[in-house]
Amino acid sequence: MKSLNSAATEQDKNMDKLRTDLELLGLSPQEALIVALLLCNKKSMTIKEISEEVEIPNYLLYNILNLLTQKGFIEQISLKPKSYISDQML
């Protein structure tokens, strides 16, 4: 049975690979990080949760999330609080 640390390390490797692939598709490093986070997460995330994970201030995050929504990589699923999910998870 894998330890929690090795499971976390495996998830980090998967997320890094996903981020690299998303950047190859033309996403900025910040956009790729957010999409990878939402794809690897098993639930929707609020702006606050995303901001804490990726360490991007809310005022910058709003613009990035709007761009990703327009590009079709993520979807806003609730208004209060605003929550986002990767389209691939639906």
According to the model, what pLDDT value does residue 7 have? 54
Cα angle 79, 81, 85; round to 5: 75
Q: For residue 18, what are its two tokens?
A: 């996903």
According to the model, what pLDDT value does residue 42 have? 77
Q: For residue 61, what are its two tokens?
A: 């995050």
Q: CB-side exposure of 76: number of CA atoms within 13 Å? A: 15
Please report where in the chains the tokens 């986002």 appear, as a residue.
84
According to the model, what pLDDT value does residue 6 have? 55
Mean of pLDDT values over 41-60? 91
Please report where in the chains the tokens 């998303």 appear, as a residue.
22
By CB neighbour count within 10 A (0-12 exposed, 13-18 middle, 19+ buried), where does 11 fall? exposed
- pLDDT at residue 4 tops 60: no
Q: How many residues make up the chain in this entry?
A: 90
- pLDDT at residue 2 tops 50: no
Mean of pLDDT values over 67-73? 93
Beta strands 74-79; 45-46: pairing state: unpaired
pTM of the model as a whole: 0.81
